[in-house]
Amino acid sequence: MKLAARIGDVTPSLTLAIDTKAKAMKREGIDVLSFSVGEPDFDTPAHIRAAAEAALKQGKTRYGAVAGEPRLREAIAHKLQQDNALPYQPENIVVTNGGKHSLFNLLMTLIEPGDEVIIPAPYWVSYPEMVKLAGGTPVIVSTTVEGGFKISPEQLQQAITPRTRMFILNSPSNPTGMVYAPAEVRALAAIVAQHDIWVVSDEIYEKILYDGAEHLSIGAVSPELFEKTIVSSGFAKTYAMTGWRIGFLAAPLPIVKAVSTLQGHSTSNVCTFAQYGAIAAYEGSQDCVTEMVNAFAERRKVVLDYVNAIPGFACPPPNGAFYVFPNIGKLGVKSLDFCDALLEKKQVAAVPGIAFGADDCIRLSYAASLDAIHEGMQRLTDFVNSLL
Ligand code: PLP
């Protein structure tokens, strides 16, 4: 069958593939422990669900404004001003079908064939594929476990060419959980300031921080950087709202206008009554976020204790998100073979680092119950011992 060339070059999501395999095994009755999913295992907080239910009852079931419900755009702009010191107005916001959709919209709006997009590796699985879909060229800059999986200002400077149009920064990071310290963000900002490029700052994990780590949005570094930055984020991770499909971008007005045109001919508005849940998420108490982050912190500690005790694993302690990204290089196996064998032999699902541009690592998500973590990490330890 002849398919459009643009899709032929795109790699299917490996993270979803592993999850599908693990779920199929579970359906067969096999006791699979999954550390492969990138979503909180909590229910969406009750007040958020109640707000969406009320909106449904009130008949908020019709087409809405393409860029989002005005009150939600206001709540997002207010949050960006309060929490992130980013002086956005409601008209700078577009509400999208998740953070994934906001990134896709941005790339379709800004990237042309021949344009280069700098992506530090390990990267979130979809960035390079989205760049390719937009006709651009992903320029992958590898980082190391010793360097805390962070791109240095020198590396960024070296990667910039006359064709560079964009740099994608993701902090806290999926898959490594690394958080750039404010001084590190400022150092990267100093490089960006010297060039005519955009920074897309994916801040979807900004609230999930540990050990006193601080999140600084690169757009808040200076007014100049604010003009060069586009923020992409969403409600999925912070409020356990993965299935709601609500994200947003914040950008200068010409970009907002262009993205709204694109969205107007593709998905139109995000589900109207769901947006009322998102309004409640931002306008309501943030205690639910603290509770979930505290639970993640407890699990993170347990996972790290196991990981640090496994011979051959090296893993800088991540300060954000809900992933650890141990290096398995010393074991002499490729990440895909490792994860396949781990699933087959021990029924533990992890994601091979190759999906994130790091074939000597695996990603473990600790968005799982403490019991599952103890059992799964014990099985992983036994598995590694059997390889040595
Ligand atoms: N950005 C990063 C770094 C992510 O990890 C994810 C989800 O896994 C997204 C964006 C997209 O999130 P969603 O589309 O569910 O809002």
Structural domain span for residue 308: 5-44+287-387
Report the mean per-residue pLDDT for the chain: 95
Q: How many domains does the chain have?
A: 2
Using one digit for the tens of pLDDT, what is the confidence trace for 100-153?
999 999 999 999 999 999 999 999 999 999 999 999 999 999 999 889 999 999
CA of 58 to the centre of ligand 1 (A): 30
Q: What is the pLDDT of residue 353?
A: 96
Average pLDDT over residues 284-303: 97
Return phi, psi of residue 36, to 5°: -100, -15
Q: Are residues 211 and 65 in the same domain?
A: yes
Rounded-to-5 percentages of helix, strand, coil across the chain? 45, 15, 40
Using one digit for the tens of pLDDT, what is the confidence trace for 180-238?
999 999 999 999 999 999 999 999 999 999 999 999 999 999 999 999 999 999 999 99
Q: What is the pLDDT of residue 297?
A: 97
CA of 101 to the centre of ligand 1 (A): 9
- Residue 277: CATH number of its domain: 3.40.640.10
Pocket test for ligand 1, best of 107, 237, 245, 271 (most atoms within 8 A of CB): 237
Among 283, 304, 324, the domain-final residue is 283
Closest atom of ligand 1 to CA, residue 39: 8
Average pLDDT over residues 282-304: 97
Pocket test for ligand 1, best of 14, 76, 100 (most atoms within 8 A of CB): 100
Among 283, 298, 320, the domain-final residue is 283
Q: Are residues 305 and 374 in the same domain?
A: yes
Pocket test for ligand 1, best of 102, 124, 275 (most atoms within 8 A of CB): 124
Residues within a 6 A CB radius of ligand 1: 38, 98-100, 124, 170, 174, 202, 204, 234, 236, 242, 247
- Residue 12: CATH number of its domain: 3.90.1150.10
Q: Are residues 136 and 76 in the same domain?
A: yes
Query: Does residue 53 sit within a domain?
Result: no
Query: Does residue 105 sit within a domain?
Result: yes
Q: Are residues 314 and 234 in the same domain?
A: no
Residue 40 scores a pLDDT above 80: yes
> What DSSP state is assigned to residue 334?
-
Closest atom of ligand 1 to CA, residue 102: 14
Which two structure tokens, joined as six digits, stand for 137?
């060229």
Query: Does residue 223 sit within a domain?
Result: yes
SS3 155: helix
Using one digit for the tens of pLDDT, what is the confidence trace for 144-176?
988 999 999 999 999 999 999 999 999 999 999
Query: Does residue 291 sit within a domain?
Result: yes
Among 283, 305, 327, the domain-final residue is 283
Q: Are residues 267 and 382 in the same domain?
A: no
Q: Among 32-36, 201-205, 281-285, where is mean pLDDT lowest?
A: 32-36
Measured distance CA(16)–CA(34) in Å, rounded: 12
Using one digit for the tens of pLDDT, what is the confidence trace for 343-382?
999 999 999 999 999 999 999 999 999 999 999 999 999 9
Q: What percent of the chain has pLDDT over 90?
A: 89
Q: Are residues 222 and 361 in the same domain?
A: no
Residue 15 scores a pLDDT above 80: no
Is the torsion defined by CA of 25, 30, 34, 39 positive or negative?
positive
